[in-house]
Amino acid sequence: MPAGFPSFGETARIEWRAGRIADPVERLRYLRRRMVQPKRRDFQGFGFIAVPLMIAVLAARSPTGSAETIERERGLAVPRAGSAAASMPPHVWLIEKTEAAEVYSNGLRIDRTFLTSNRPRARFPVYSLAGASVPVKYGDAPVGIVYHTTESLVPPFEEDQNHKLQRLGRNLLEVVRSERAYHFVIDRFGRVYAVVVETDAANHAGNSIWADAEGIYINLNDSFLGISFEAQTGAADAVTPAQIQAAKVLTEALRSRYQIPAENCVTHAQVSVNPLNMKVGAHTDWAGDFPFAKIGLPNNYSIPLASIYAFGFDADEVYERMVGMNFGGVALARAQIERQAEAQNTPAAQYRAILRHRYKDIETELKQNEGGN
């Protein structure tokens, strides 16, 4: 889902529609899908939920400072995905580039007719897995990919819908371009469009967290590329075979160009967080059923979520219901918190509060830097 925000009229319509959904979990799920974050702000549109939770978080907050946090977290082992994750795809190279298109050695063709700029990619901080609120280093090239769905209207994928499919696809590309929402869009026919140039950041990830062996990345617009499938969660044919094939060759080409590890190719639902209520999954696109294997990736749903084990975020019931059983990352990260707390001889709730304190320290620092730009 792109990082836009509904207008006041839109908000009223969304609330009216939500009021007509009887099941409270389904209603929340609908609201969550419709209420998206504005650019570069933390407001989430969930004040009615966020306020009591924030009070609970603040009440549980430990008085201990960063120095102790570093001490407590030193030497923690972080489980990673299986060794298959380490394998890199074959080398892919550019064979032809014109104003209109790029063609690659693995069959990838990228349409450049909607290409636009946003803002140059900023150097991004990388934080230690072992603790501390100051970066251990900085990066300046993409280290990962976040997969999205556009959640735009999609007609049935049938020949007699061709005109409508074409028209909606074009409209979508216009919107994505005006919002600088993603680097790439894969339309229903599997055509790959470059929208935001790769040297710039796209507004795709919002508040988000991911980690690899190098460290922890926070707010991934600068550090991760955004690929969005023209798709609607819950629609009859969520993605078409042509889209999956296109995502496979696009992923191979990007991994080859930037040496992106497989474990950093993940979905928006895995990385998205809401700092107001300290819950994961503010955005839930690709919360389940992402075709990792068909795209040539290991099942990255089994990687523990760094938002949980490094910063004390947690999943709520809505998120758990959406991700279902195929998403081991939440359970593994929770188990890790328990182990870490035990190793530190600290009650789990208190340990989590220390982790949250560390996140708040980093968040404050990031906001100050942002304000100084």
Binding-site ranges for Zn ion (CB under 5 A): 1, 148, 268, 283, 285
Tell me the closest approach of the beta carbon of residue 276 to Zn ion, in angstroms. Answer: 18
CB 139 within 8 A of CB 123: yes
- Of 68 and 289, the one with the shorter C-beta distance to Zn ion is 289
272 versus 277: smaller Cβ distance to Zn ion: 272
Residue 214 CA to residue 209 CA, distance in Å, equals 14
Q: Which is nearer to Zn ion, 271 or 330 (CB)?
A: 271
- For residues 132 and 205, which CB has a smaller minimum distance to Zn ion in the complex? 205
- Compute the least distance from the CB of residue 200 to Zn ion, in Å: 18
Q: What is the closest distance, in whole angstroms, from the C-beta atom of residue 146 to Zn ion in the complex?
A: 7
CB of 350 to Zn ion, least distance (A): 34
DSSP 58-112: HHH--S--HHHHHHHHTT-------GGGGPPPPP--EEEE-SSEEEETTS-EEE-
Q: List, in sequence order, every beta strand (DSSP E) within 213-275.
A: 215-218, 224-229, 265-267, 273-274
Cβ proximity to Zn ion: between 281 and 298 the closer is: 281
Q: Which is nearer to Zn ion, 217 or 351 (CB)?
A: 217
Give the list of residues 6+ apart from residue 101 with CB closer than 8 angstroms, or none.
109, 110, 111, 112
Rounded to a whole number of angstroms, the minimum distance from the CB of residue 126 to Zn ion is 23
Strand ranges in the chain using DSSP code E only, listed in sequence order: 94-97, 101-104, 109-111, 119-120, 124-126, 137-139, 144-149, 184-186, 192-194, 200-201, 209-212, 215-218, 224-229, 265-267, 273-274, 279-280
